Structure 1
Amino acid sequence: MMLKCDICGCEFDHTQAGDCDCGMGCGGQNVKCPQCGLHLILPPELRKIKEKEENSKSMLDKLAEELGVQ
């Protein structure tokens, strides 16, 4: 999905954006503009995908996937 930065006007695919490192408790569900670094709020449909990606990075989730446990 294409996103547009509110500050610099850069249009980019959400997969090209950097991970949020704001430290403000967003849970990593925001992204950074690849051009200026502004933190952008993801649309709701992408937030769920990003949340699932973040959760799948934990060791317990990887182990559960390997064992076939849900």
Structure 2
Amino acid sequence: MSDAPIVVHRPTGTGGRRVTIRAQIAGLAHSDDLIEFLRRAGMPDAWEALDGPAQVEWQGGRPHKYSAG
């Protein structure tokens, strides 16, 4: 587990991934629409942060994959 402030949790059985920002639930992302969650949290450079392990921890699946299958 990392100290990244953004965690994209494992895909749910029905699709989508829960997103937490600084341990607060931001929502359920079904695509890279999670960028909007990050912007609302005050990260204008959200696209760059998505692939930075210091910023985002992708749990239980490949980055940018939002379905369980």
TM-score w.r.t. structure 1 length? Answer: 0.32
Larger relative CO (CA 8 A, sep 6+): 1 or 2?
2
As a proportion of its length, which structure holds more strand? 2
Of structures 1 and 2, the larger Rg is shown by 1
As a proportion of its length, which structure holds more helix? 1
